[in-house]
Structure 1
Amino acid sequence: MDKILSKDSFKDYLFMLLGILCISFALKSLLIPNHFFDGGVTGIALLLYKKYHINIALIFVALNIPFLLLGGKLIGKSFAIKSIISVIVLGLCLLFIPFPEVSHDKLIVSVFGGFFIGLGVGFGMKSGIALDGIEVLAVYTGKKVGFSMSEIILGINILIFLIAGIFFGLEAAFYSMLTYFVASKTIDYVVEGFEEFTGVTIISSKSEEVKAFLVLQMSKGITVYKGERGFMKDSFEVSTETDIVYTVVTRLEVRKLKNAIHEIDEKAFIFSSSIKETAGGILKKKHAH
């Protein structure tokens, strides 16, 4: 245990605490008083609470712990210990912290309930823990049945919303879907950051000028692959060696980059793809400042 504590930074514990408080607030101030639901283990806990009136804190902890213990085998002992402690603390917050009811407006409850749930789960993920064990279940099930994690999570959530619709009406199910949608988008922003990155590959006969522009004018790091260009239908045998240039920019810089490259070489072939996360290199150093 001391080894685990010595490795964790203050930032990790701050994110854990913020995640716990955000989820506690969302549940007690918004979702529970208005009988709204969410996806994942949180959604299952809310369904059981609404149907059988069992204490929500006990349900939430009891449902999550088996999945988190499974996470200890799949991910690591440190992950499981920290996640279980965090889930227990979250349960204690639900039991003892008197969060006030904020609103009974259905749209406000649905949107901001989802926002704070997503914020909490996202903060937990950034600190290396899980405050909702559904993804651990999806990882384990995916290895057994061959479906992707996103497909399994989607299937479980569809089942949750179907049950909510059957027992509590379609309106509750629809608002719960909105809650889950907002939560999932918020998680994406918290984990991946608001400043999304794009990887850009450039194939041009003027690769030297392209490289000079990216490094000297845009201050970007580049990676150069050696390749061949040509192989056209009417001249398949004709090809020339070329440098294939790859760089990473923010999404706000993509248009500027493409316009500049086409000014250098209007026949340049450019394609891009979204990047979920970056670490290290020139880009990270600039971002840190």
Structure 2
Amino acid sequence: MFKTLNHYFQIIVGVGLVSFAINQFLAPHDIAAGGASGIAILLYHVMDWEISRTVFTINVIMLISAFLLLGTKVFLKSLFGSILLPFMLYWIPVQMLVEDRFLAVISGSVIFACGVALLYRNQASSGGTTIPPLIMKKYFGIDKSIGLLMSDLIIVVASLFVFGMDSFVLAVISIVITMMCMNYLSTGFNQKISMEIISVSHHRDILNTLRNLKTRGLSVFPVHGGHMLERRQMILIVMKRSEYLDYYDLIHSIDPKAFMIVQNVKDVHGNGFTYTSIV
């Protein structure tokens, strides 16, 4: 019961963030950055149609399409968010919270991305233009990301004729910021550091020292030099970002000439990271 309540609570928060970003940051500045909300912003400017009602109408059409073309499972997953989004858009007033357009685009896009990322994390959606890419994937084999980009691109291009070049450019910037933030939010909070170490003269000392720490697992790979074909042993260790300098100083103190390759790792799961650490 708790997991179910928490699941729906996160969906409500996600839809709330999306609605807040639209009504407080994007819509007041005429930024139609794709989606059902983008269509609603365009129609709000041209026809003076209320954003919440337009989104509700679009979502109903998309839900019917999902039920007929994609089946009951997709329909049920989209139902809650599709009904909740128009309600949130109606409840949150449309007002210009930030007067500077560029700052509003940055702030609104980041908040929008947080809301969508939270929805995706709970395998939910707010309906709208997230459904046509699923239809295109099923019937025409078009990748979902390409289908979503096509849908958003049509809306953004339409904003060029309705709002002009400035709004068009800001809408493109909004999409880019949203995509970058969502990509970071999906894995960014779990980023780690991987270090590959090759030491010609102190390999055994480094390996024993790292073993004695008993804080991180180690892997050792046989490698060959590309010029002289010398056989070496390479140590691989993955660590938290906060641990990097300690490991670097330790290895450098043992062998200042040690060859080290350091890389950012987006996501790490397993012993020592997502459950009980090594003992």
Q: Secondary structure at the match of 1:32?
A: helix
Q: Does 1:220 align with 2:211?
A: no
One-letter identity of the residue aligned with 1:172: S
Q: 1:196 aligns with which of 183, 191, 194?
A: 191
TM-score by length of 1: 0.72
Structure 1 vs Structure 2 CA RMSD: 3.8
- Which residue of the partner structure matches residue 251 of structure 2? 261
TM alignment of 1:170-249, pairs within 5 A: 170-194=165-189, 196-204=191-199, 206-214=202-210, 216-217=212-213, 219-222=215-218, 224-225=219-220, 227-233=221-227, 235-236=228-229, 239=231, 242=233, 244-249=234-239
- Which residue of the partner structure matches residue 281 of structure 1? 271
Q: Secondary structure at the match of 2:247?
A: helix
- Which residue of the partner structure matches residue 95 of structure 1? 90
Residue 216 of structure 1, CA deviation: 4.2
Distance 1:214 1:142 in 2: 49
Residue 120 of structure 1, CA deviation: 1.2
Identity %: 20
Residue 245 of structure 1, CA deviation: 3.5
One-letter identity of the residue aligned with 2:222: E
Residue 123 of structure 1, CA deviation: 1.7
The change in CA–CA distance for 1:33 and 1:278 in structure 2 (over 3 A counts) is same
Query: Are the aligned partners of 2:23 and 2:92 in contact in 1 as well (CA < 8 Å)?
Result: no
Q: 1:57 aligns with which of 52, 68, 76?
A: 52
Q: Does 1:164 align with 2:159?
A: yes
Unaligned runs of 5+ in 2: none
One-letter identity of the residue aligned with 1:239: R
Unaligned runs of 5+ in 1: 1-5
Q: Secondary structure at the match of 2:33?
A: coil
Query: Are the aligned partners of 1:221 and 1:283 in contact in 2 as well (CA < 8 Å)?
Result: no
Distance 2:4 2:110 in 1: 26
TM-score by length of 2: 0.74
Distance 1:102 1:151 in 2: 33
Query: Are the aligned partners of 1:198 and 1:272 in contact in 2 as well (CA < 8 Å)?
Result: yes
Q: 1:47 aligns with which of 31, 42, 46?
A: 42
Query: Are the aligned partners of 2:195 and 2:260 in contact in 1 as well (CA < 8 Å)?
Result: no
Q: Secondary structure at the match of 1:283?
A: coil
Q: 2:12 aligns with which of 17, 20, 24?
A: 17
The change in CA–CA distance for 1:149 and 1:282 in structure 2 (over 3 A counts) is same
The change in CA–CA distance for 1:151 and 1:81 in structure 2 (over 3 A counts) is closer
Distance 1:136 1:263 in 2: 57
Residue 181 of structure 1, CA deviation: 3.3
Q: Does 1:124 align with 2:119?
A: yes
How many residues are matched? 272
Q: Secondary structure at the match of 1:282?
A: coil
- Which residue of the partner structure matches residue 25 of structure 2? 30
